[in-house]
Amino acid sequence: MADLIKSNSKSFGNLLDDFFSNAPAWNRAELKFPPVNISEDKENFEVDLYAPGLKKDDFKVNLEKGLLTISYDKKTETHNKKSHRTEYFQSSFKRSFTLDDSNIDATKIHASYKDGVLKLVLPKKEQTEIAPKQIEVK
C-alpha cells in the first residue's frame, strides 16, 4: 500500500508545473525588452514603456542627436533559494527611438513612473505659421 501511494504522489514542483502550465506568454523569456505604446495629441507625443517591478531610479533616459534611449541595467542578485518555476524576471534592456528634433521641445521632456509604466511626455514645439508674402521682383 505504501508503495502505491509513493508511486502515485507528485512532488511539490510537479504540482506547481501542472497548476501554472497555462501561464501567459507575454511575461516569459521570449520577450527581450519591455513593450511600448506611442501616442500623440495636439501638444505632445507620449511613450509608455511597460516595465513592472522596477523603481524609477532604475531607468536611464537619454536624448542625443535625435535618438531617445531608454535603458535598464540589471544588478546581479544572489540568493540561496531553489526555484521550482520562474515565469517573471527582469533583464537588462535598451530601447531606442528616432525623433524629429524639429518637432520636439527637448527642454520640456519629462518622465514619470507609476504602476509599472514609465511615461515619457515629449512636448511638441510650437509651430508658427509663416504668412504668405509677396516678393517683389526688381
- The residue ranges of every structural domain in the chain are 32-75+86-126
Cell 511600448: give the residue: 36
Instruction: Identify the pLDDT of residue 109.
Output: 95
Distance CA(118)–CA(68), nearest Å, equals: 14
- The predicted pLDDT at position 80 comes to 80
Single out the residue of 126, 112, 123 nearest to residue 48, CA to CA.
112
- Rounded Cα distance between 67 and 64, Å, is 5
Structure confidence by residue, pLDDT tens digits, 1-31: 444 444 444 444 454 555 555 544 444 455 5
| Structure letter (DSSP) for residue 50 | E
Residue type, position 21, single letter: S
**77-136 tens-digit pLDDT:** 777 888 888 777 778 899 999 988 788 999 999 999 999 999 999 999 987 777 788 888
CATH of 32-75+86-126, one of 3.30.300.20, 3.40.50.300, 2.60.40.790, 2.30.40.10: 2.60.40.790
Reference 46, options 55, 54, 37, 56; nearest CA is 37
pLDDT the model gives residue 119: 97
| Residue-wise pLDDT tens digits, 33-83 | 899 999 999 999 999 999 998 999 999 999 998 899 999 988 777 778 888
